[in-house]
Structure 1
Amino acid sequence: MNSYTQATKLHLKTKLGVSGKSVIEEMFFTPPLKIIDPIYEGDVANIMLLSVSAGLMKGDCQDLDIFIGKNSKIKLTSQSFEKVHNTQDGKALRRTIVHVENDAMLDFFPLPVIPFAQSNFENTTQIFLDAKSTLYYSEIFCAGRVSRNEIFDFTRFDSKLHIFIDKKIKLYDNMLLEPENMEFQNMCMFDNYTHYLSLVIKNDMIDFEEFREMVLQEEGNIGVSKHDCFILLRALGRGSEELLNLREKVILECQKRIKIK
């Protein structure tokens, strides 16, 4: 049994403070989630989400509500990998709703999800942007506890991403994996890779062709495409660290080039 209530809620709202720094205006959370006070990197507030549980169990449900106020610059991440334990005949849920106002920037990268054997995990993320919002959003999927050779032994992994601009749907991404119904370790799917990075960028100051040329110079199995005003990067790897490092390197390089311009 879980030591905590199965329904977990977290609310975070930011604004630009009188000091010119982005600050937390409102926050609320129930166990096992917590929010750590910002650590500043220039004018960007780094905020970390903590979970003091051993992971998600059968029947667990997390509801996250995040509001990034006008002119805020927020870097938001989680403290540790999200472990999804054997959910038996049930499932674990996580629902995230994000709003990013005009002239605000959100760099959101929850750490990888690790689905254990016989786990069923359903993740839904809805991001509402204004026309002049800036977004960097990524998810990293791991095929299981690789060190234990527990690869694609989960029951179901379902992750959906919806992104709206001015309340109109602009991007929809659906990742549904059911190992019983499909072989994922073949050359048309994951081959011998075990980790997958999906990065979505909305920044009107980034030139797509320059970005594409920059990324394709990196080593690895990487693809880049453009959809509407979004730049999409997908990469396969054999470990979380290499994909996290790739993400960090790409975004830092983008920001350097924007400053030069």
Structure 2
Amino acid sequence: MMNLKHCTPSDIPQEFLQYDGDIAQMGVGKSGKIGFLELELQNDSDKQKTIITKKQTQVPLYVQKALHYDLDYPSMAHVFILSPSGGILQGDRYRMDVELRNNAISHITTQGATRIYKMESNYATHMVTLNLKDNSYLEFIPEQIIPYKNSRFYQKTNLQIDDSSTVVYSETIVPGRIAMGEMFDFDLCYLKTEGKINDRVQFRDSSLLSPKMQKIQSLAMFDDKTILTSVYILTKKHVTKVNDMINELFSHTQNISGGSSILPNDSGISIRILGNSSEDQKITIYEILKIIRKEILPEYL
């Protein structure tokens, strides 16, 4: 299962195909170039908490045991995705499959930012599938993506739930290593997200950033902001109320611009946040999580 084909998206965008060449160093598919993580979490009624019931990993992706340190939500499993590599290199192919079942409640994040290193040839890809069943709840909130100069990165995310479950997913793109003088110097950063409820597509959303071809800091795109965060809430619970509360939050925030809208068929909420500080973006994400935990999470406790 953990071979190159399994960990490579079947729909590599046209924009990347021009870079689909051989690598002089360690080629695509070699040991260490394929990262794989398969994770299943379920509620353990005897222990009264969510635990990891299945784990399969291939370095450079792995996880440690689930932690239960939140006194407000003692049953919630906190899971940190780790990588010893320090970043994603040319030719890397990563895949994460996470499934929650049986009233599982979890918060998953990464140990640090996802750094996309400079590329002389080829590109890197990352596939993420989050599958929730049986009244489960997941917050998947990774740290920011930092595309270095001349990097090329394609991430494809699939959110799949049944109508009893809720998933909250975020992604943040910064313009590069600002301290090193990089500002939108990467070649391509393409993030594609799809959400399904009961196997029916509710939305598809794509963010294609090609700074050498686009005027990123034009009024139509980022204006005077440099950092983009997208948050997707896929749920059938309290959608209108949560959406109103998030927009109310944005009306009082400083230093960032943001907006929230309801997804088709009242299937959830889509949120965009623009700012100039990754810390401000992160604070805003967790302010949104506070709203979700107040209005939606109690349904799962």
Q: TM-score scaled to structure 2, two decimals?
A: 0.82
- Is 2:234 the counterpart of 1:202? yes
Residue 255 of structure 1 is matched in structure 2 by 293
Q: Deviations over 1:29-53 (max 9, x none)?
A: 1112110211112221111100111
Q: Map of 1:1-261 to 2, 5 A cutoff?
A: 1=25, 5-17=32-44, 18-40=46-68, 41=70, 42-203=74-235, 204-206=237-239, 207=241, 208-219=243-254, 220-228=256-264, 229-257=267-295
Q: CA deviation at 1:254?
A: 3.3
Q: How far apart are the structure 1 equivalents of 2:131 and 2:296?
A: 24
Question: In the comparison of the two structures, how many residue pairs are matched?
Answer: 261
Decide whether the 8 Å contact of 2:42 with 2:101 is kept in 1: yes
Output the CA distance in 1 between the equivalents of 2:181 and 2:129: 34
Change (3 A) 1:148 1:192: farther
Distance 1:230 1:216 in 2: 21
Q: CA RMSD in A?
A: 1.9
Q: Quick check: 220-229 or 69-78, which moved more?
A: 220-229
- The one-letter code sitting in structure 2 at the alignment partner of 1:24 is I
Assess if the C-alpha contact under 8 Å between 1:211 and 1:254 holds in 2.
Answer: no
Give % identity. 24
Instruction: Give every structure 1 segment of 4 or more consecutive aligned residues whose post-TM-superposition deviation is greater than 6 Å.
Output: none
Superposed displacement of residue 216, structure 1: 2.5
TM-score w.r.t. length of structure 1: 0.94
Give the secondary structure class of the aligned counterpart of 1:59: coil
Q: Give the gaps of 5 or more residues in structure 1.
A: none
Contact 1:4/1:31 (8 A) holds in 2: no
Q: CA shift at 1:231, angstroms?
A: 1.2
> 2:216 and 2:165 mapped to 1: Cα distance?
36
3-state SS of 1:39 partner: coil
8 Å CA contact 2:168–2:234 kept in 1: the answer is yes
Determine if contact 1:39/1:46 at 8 Å carries over to the other structure.
yes
Partners in 2 of 1:11 and 1:259 — Cα distance?
Answer: 25
